[in-house]
Structures are given as C-alpha cells and as structure tokens.
Amino acid sequence: QREAAQSYADELEMKAKAELPDYVYGYFAGTAGGGESVQDAAAHWDAVRFRPKAFTNTSEGLTRTSILGTQLRTPVLAAPMAHQNAATPLAEIATARAVRRAGSLLGVSTNTSVPFSQIAAEGAPWWFQVYVMKDRGLSSALVERAAAAEAKALVLTVDTTRLASSELVIDPQLWPETPGKRRLANLLEEDLSGLSEDATRGAEDLTLDIIGELRERSGIEVIVKGILRGDDARRAVDAGAAGVLVSTHGGRRLGKSVTSMQALPEVVQAVGNDCEVYVDSGIRTGDHVAAALAMGARAVFVGRPVMWGLATGGEDGAAAVLERFTEELRLTMAAIGANTIRDITSDMLWRPQATC
C-alpha cells in the first residue's frame, strides 16, 4: 500500500507539473537551500515501523476526531497555502468545497486572493494563518476580519520573517493578469492608503507577547506554526497558545532543518496534555498520518499534494487527495489494530534502542 500510495502523490505532482506554467510549478514545489529537509521529510515518515496489535475490534474504522472542539470526519487537514489562484481559478473556494466534502478543516493563508466572507460561505471549518506584518495595525485588521467571518482559530506562522529565496515568491512580471491576481485580498484600500510597500513585509522582531495580543484582538484561539523545538513549544503554550504545529514549512524556509518527524517527539514531550499538537511537512500517505498520530499529533496538515489536486482537478482533485489519505489511514488503522483515532497509541510504534 505504501509503495502505491507514494507513487500516487508523486504521480499527481508529475501531472500537475505537466499542466502548470513552469514558474507556478517552480513556486509550488520550491524549497529552501539545497532542499535537504524536503528530501528527508517523507523518507523519515516512511522509516517509522508499527507494532500491530492483535485481537482488537477494527470493524468500524472510525477516522472522526475533534480539533480544538471542532468535530471533523478526518484528522487529515488542508495546510494554509498562498497563491491557490495559480492552481485553480476558484482558489480557496474550491479548496473549501473539497474540505467540506471530506469532513476536514481548511487553513487559509494571509496571502489568499479570496475575501474571507466567500470562503466562510462554503461552510467548511477554517483557520486563518497569520503573518505578522511590520505594520501591526494591518495584522490586527486582518485577524479581526477573520474572526468576524467565523474563522475558528488563528495560525500564527513564526518560521517566516524573511523569505528564504527569490524562488519562493512568484515573480509579479509573470503573474497572469486575472482579477484573482491580488494577494492579501482581505486588506482593503483604506488599510493600505498612505502606507509604504514595506508595511506588509514580515515583522522580524516577533516576541511571545504576540500570542496573547492576537488572542485578545480576535477573541479566538491561537496556534503557533513552525515550531521545531520542545523549548519553543513550551514557551508558546505558556504564553497562551492553544496548539502548536510542528512544521518545516514544507522545507521552504531552511534547507538543512531537522524534519518534522524528528522534532515531533520532543514537542509532544515538552507540552504534555497542555495543548494540542499538529504536524505537517512531507506527509504523503495514510501510513504517514498514522505514524504522526501514534507519535502524539492530534491531526496532520497536507500541503503540496492538495495543491497538486487543485491544479489537476480543482475542487474534485483536492477532495480526492483528502479522501484518499483518509481511506489509506483507515486501512492502516485496520492493519495496526485501531478501531478509532484514539486507539492509535505510541505503543504501536516500534522503537530501535536509541529513542527516535
């Protein structure tokens, strides 16, 4: 199953590559540095081995779960990604429809081209991803608008204060002239009037106080994304985060970072039951999802495969990716002896002598 599943994500990527303009594919697939972290990411998830449990009832195969109190049919969630309008004209509207069909949850990037109200109208639960900008007032305006449009939580990305390489931005000269071209669709003209271009750049001096400030501004919970160390996770929780998302940003920020599989155990250990832990980067199969859950993640986010689904099949394509990962998870659950998500426990992992 794993071999087949691996080639599924790879095949979808090849199909998307053939269909997308080179500069768009290059942006979506882009990595930082020499891409070492991306190369290792899926391989590390692949290296996990299970200790399947016998004599358990696996007849139901229930993948439903709850994330910060939101009931979902799957722990496979759609990661926030910018420039979805370069994959499909409906952008996050298509993703939101796919997510609703799959019973999942949608991450919406600060750099979305779609107004919050239109995303919310699709009825899928969604979280708003926040890049704190140099002009903090702009960020405040955005999080207030997101909360008013019923975002269920904020995802504060802390790994990206400065873009790692020019390949990770779409060259505006190449960007097709469409109404969806605009990023930051939820900033209004009035927000930007009189401000310099610099105002929307990332704040490079973030401190832990920002967690409480965002919570207060928006009135909704804050999850911190891009955590790769136990001590940072602990500090985020102590500062009021309701969750941490262990992530290398899909290897787009630091070529030689640890993988999220390597970082997950120390984060889980550092926060205990004090907050929910999620993980992304390199999750490509249902086995990977099961491994992450057994290691203590409450849910996983999937990035590029969802983008390849959007690029090749719009809403249907993205729904197929989420549904396929969920179906694979169900098969793995049956094979390891888990009837529900709660049954996927750490004793189902095999550990070599040294801890992982």
Residue type, 192: L
Would you count residue 302 as binding ligand FNR (CB under 6 A)? yes
Would you count residue 81 as binding ligand FNR (CB under 6 A)? yes
**Binding-site member from 48, 79, 210, 319 for ligand FNR (CB under 6 A):** 79
Respond yes or no: is residue 288 known to be catalytic. no
Beta strands in the chain (DSSP E): 65-67, 70-72, 76-78, 106-108, 126-130, 153-157, 221-227, 243-246, 276-280, 299-302
Would you count residue 247 as binding ligand FNR (CB under 6 A)? yes
Annotated binding-site residue? 278: no
Shortest CA distance to 222 belongs to which of 213, 230, 232?
213
Residue 239 exposed, middle or buried by CB count within 10 Å (0-12, 13-18, 19+): middle
Would you count residue 113 as binding ligand FNR (CB under 6 A)? no
Would you count residue 286 as binding ligand FNR (CB under 6 A)? no
Nearer to ligand FNR, 211 or 302 (CB): 302
Would you count residue 324 as binding ligand FNR (CB under 6 A)? no
State how far the Cα of 127 lies from the Cα of 289, in Å rounded to an integer: 20
Q: Which residue, judged by CB position, is nearest to ligand FNR in the bound state?
A: 303
State how far the Cα of 142 lies from the Cα of 119, in Å rounded to an integer: 14
Backbone angles phi, psi at 132, to 5 degrees: -75, 125
State the DSSP code for 131: P
Annotated binding-site residue? 297: no
State how far the Cα of 60 lies from the Cα of 66, in Å rounded to an integer: 17
Site for ligand FNR in 136-195 (CB under 6 A): 157
> Shortest approach of ligand FNR to residue 42 CB, angstroms?
8
> Shortest approach of ligand FNR to residue 28 CB, angstroms?
4
Annotated binding-site residue? 131: yes
Which residues are at the interface with ligand FNR (CB under 6 A)?
28, 79-82, 109-111, 129, 157, 225, 247, 249-250, 252, 280-283, 302-304, 307
The binding site for glyoxylate consists of 27, 131, 249, 252
